[in-house]
Amino acid sequence: MKNIAQQYAPLIQIVDDDFATRLLMRASLEKAGFRVAEAENGLVAVAEFEELQPDAILLDVMMPKLDGFDTCRAIRRHPSGMHTPILMVTGLEDLESIHRSFDSGATDFITKPINWPVLNYRVKYMLRASEAFHDVIDKQKQIQELAFFDHLTGLANRTMFKDSLEILLAESAAEESQLAVLFMDLDRFKTINDTLGHHTGDILLQNVAARINSCIRESDSFSRLKKNESKNYVSRQGGDEFTIMLPRLTNPEDASKVAQRINNALAQSFKIEGHEIFISASIGISIFPLDGTEAEVLMKHADLAMYHAKEKGKNGFQFYKKSLNIKARERLNFENDIRKAVAGEEFELWYQPQVSMQDGRITGAESLTRWNHHILGQVPPSDFIPSIEELGLIVPFTDWVIHQAGKQQLEWQKDGMRPIRVAINISSKNFIQQRLPEKLKRIINDKNVTPCFFEVEITESVLAEQSGETLKILRHLKELGMTISVDDFGTGYSSLMYLKSFPVNSIKIDRFFVKDIINNPQDAAIVQAIIAMAQSLEMTVIAEGIETREQFRMLRDMGCNIGQGYLFSPAIPAKHFARLVQVDNSFYNFK
């Protein structure tokens, strides 16, 4: 009877046609505490792989029937063999075999004659590396699960919804079919929540979600829905807001039938914990391609239509009409205004401090653009940046930001302020066309600024494109001495693969997760997983949107490196920022 440790020891499969070699390997590995299985050729090894699930494989190169290279390839094609460590046993300095082993997917190689103590260590090292790798992969999976679904209703969350919508829009464009986006808001939900309590409110939202789902499933307007496809077509955007997408409409009027069906379904009262609750909803509808071709625009228009439905009396639905937004003329003015602002008149760059979580010192600043519109007053970036992108003005706009940030660095330097790293936000739109390396290099030379005092903030979508050109640009920026951070992390792809294959220095946890970190264990778990992942990749973690001391303490204890948020300061004009840097050390005393 083996003891427990032996039963759970890693299992190593030896694949070699030579009986004596197998015997020696077995003896050596068992002595080192491993369990061993043998296969006398490649065919046997592949056939037994599924059942054995070895933790690592030692694979001889020269074997009859199936040689080591083909065996390795076959195992790699197996769904659970993708990441199994495979050590190739090759002839001494047989470069050709070493080269072919690598190409067929081997993890490492060892040469014959075998130095036994070295073999044991080689296996141990391989297992250690694979364990670390699996750890990181597990964390990534966890983040994705937590990050894409709404925990209360099980519906898609806004990120998932937007991703699915983008995919469907591309399909609809290719098929030349129509698609509707429904934006739905419950009427008087707040009153119910306030009078009956949050718990009842939560159960009500779950019931509403179920009823919406049943209306969608019954729908005859898009009968070609593939199995399970509808899962991501209904989302809770947060609070009492839901969105629905209906692809492959033959007629936009079909969308109103679904809206009507939802209203009818909600008209029947809900019985929750002894209360009978009546509720209704207002629904706005936008249609692709009539009301827009991009996900964000369609969502915005459906949202606007929803407000219109509310105004017209609740429990109804409205289609978006261009006139609902701004009248065509006013819209034209707005475009002209943006063009003028980009030409350099009304924008201003403000700075929000980034603070070390350890000692409270200011380590950097994020630059954020402010638009002082001559009539509308201060317009928030979330309103004008999408318009800038739509109008194709992102390149001149980014040029302005870079120029401004460089100029500011020089001015601060002249005023004797200690050098501070400034992060600039780079839109993912036309990322390649922005020719960042050339432009940043020029500004650094012109203004005589040290490159390490520039940080470039990109979003995950830039990395997700996986283009060689993007990689080239980022490498170039890094060579110039700049740092790169990934903004709004957690809301997008959250993929380790992207992070690993690009030269990224830090990730910024989106404020959406920080907001509820104290009260929502799920958000806390996401943040903890992101931090662990970043640490294993040796990246710095910046948390956005820290507003309270509790959030600060929790994030610091989780190992977050840098913080940003209203607790320290909102974005402020350059002059005020300089003053803040002067009082620096004594200023943030949040222990």
Q: Which residues are at the interface with Mg ion (CB under 5 A)?
A: 425, 457, 487-488, 544
DSSP string, 504-546: --EEEE-HHHHHTTTT-HHHHHHHHHHHHHHHHTT-EEEE---
Considering beta carbons, is residue 298 or 423 the nearer one to Mg ion? 423
Q: Nearer to ligand C2E by C-beta: 209 or 368? A: 368
* C-alpha–C-alpha distance, residues 250 and 254, integer Å: 8
Q: How far is the CB of 351 from ligand C2E (least distance, A)?
A: 11
As measured in angstroms, the least distance from the Cβ of 424 to Mg ion is 9
Token pair 């190739």: residue = 88
By C-beta, is 212 or 574 nearer to Mg ion? Answer: 574
| CB of 507 or CB of 529, closer to Mg ion | 507
Nearer to ligand C2E, 97 or 564 (CB): 564
234 binds, among ligand C2E, Mg ion, none (CB under 5 to 8 A by kind): none
How far apart are CB 353 and ligand C2E at their closest, in Å? Answer: 10
The entry of Mg ion, ligand C2E, none near residue 565 (CB within 5 to 8 angstroms by kind) is ligand C2E
Residue 326: CB minimum distance to ligand C2E, A: 21
Give the three-class secondary structure for 10.
coil
Least distance (Å) between residue 460 CB and Mg ion: 11
Phi, psi of 186 (to 5 degrees): -75, 140
> For 535-562, what is the HEC assignment?
HHCCCEEEECCCCCHHHHHHHHHHCCCE
Instruction: Indicate which of Mg ion, ligand C2E, none lies near residue 382 (CB less than 5 to 8 Å, by partner kind).
Output: ligand C2E
Q: How far apart are CA 299 and CA 292, in angstroms?
A: 9
- Half-sphere CA count of 347, side-chain side, radius 13 A: 26
Minimal distance, residue 162 CB to ligand C2E, in Å: 15
Kindly state the smallest distance separating residue 29's Cβ from ligand C2E, in Å. 52
Q: What is the H or E stretch that residue 570 is in?
A: none
Q: What is the C-alpha to C-alpha distance for residues 404 and 402, in angstroms, rounded to an integer?
A: 5
Our CB check for ligand C2E shows the closer of 180 and 426 to be 426
Find which of Mg ion, ligand C2E, none residue 186 binds, CB within 5 to 8 Å per kind: none
571 binds, options Mg ion, ligand C2E, none, Cβ within 5 to 8 A by partner type: ligand C2E
**369 interface partner picked from ligand C2E, Mg ion, none, CB below 5 to 8 A per type:** ligand C2E
Amino acid at residue number 177: S
| Local structure of 428: helix, strand or coil | coil
Q: Are 201 and 189 in contact (CB under 8 A)?
A: yes
Q: Quote the least distance from Cβ 147 to ligand C2E, whole Å.
A: 16
**Which two structure tokens, joined as six digits, stand for 22?**
């197998």
Closest distance to Mg ion from the beta carbon of 505 (Å): 14
User: Residue 36 or residue 543: which is nearer to Mg ion going by CB?
Assistant: 543
Positions in the binding site for ligand C2E (CB under 6 A): 352, 368-369, 380-382, 385, 401, 425-427, 487-488, 511, 544-547, 564-566, 570-571
3-state secondary structure of 44: helix
For 575, other C-beta atoms within 10 Å of its C-beta total 12
From Mg ion, ligand C2E, none, interface partner of 380 (C-beta below 5 to 8 A by class) = ligand C2E
Among candidates 541, 520, 490, which has minimal Cα distance to 157? Answer: 490
Question: Which residue, 291 or 488, has its beta carbon nearer to Mg ion?
Answer: 488
Report the partner that residue 545 touches, choosing among Mg ion, ligand C2E, none (CB closer than 5 to 8 A by kind). ligand C2E
Burial of residue 165 (CB within 10 Å: 0-12, 13-18, 19+) is: buried
From ligand C2E, Mg ion, none, interface partner of 385 (C-beta below 5 to 8 A by class): ligand C2E
Of 297, 179, 154, 323, which Cα lies nearest the Cα of 232?
A: 154
Q: Which is nearer to ligand C2E, 272 or 426 (by Cβ)?
A: 426
Contact (CB, 8 A) for 427 and 478: no
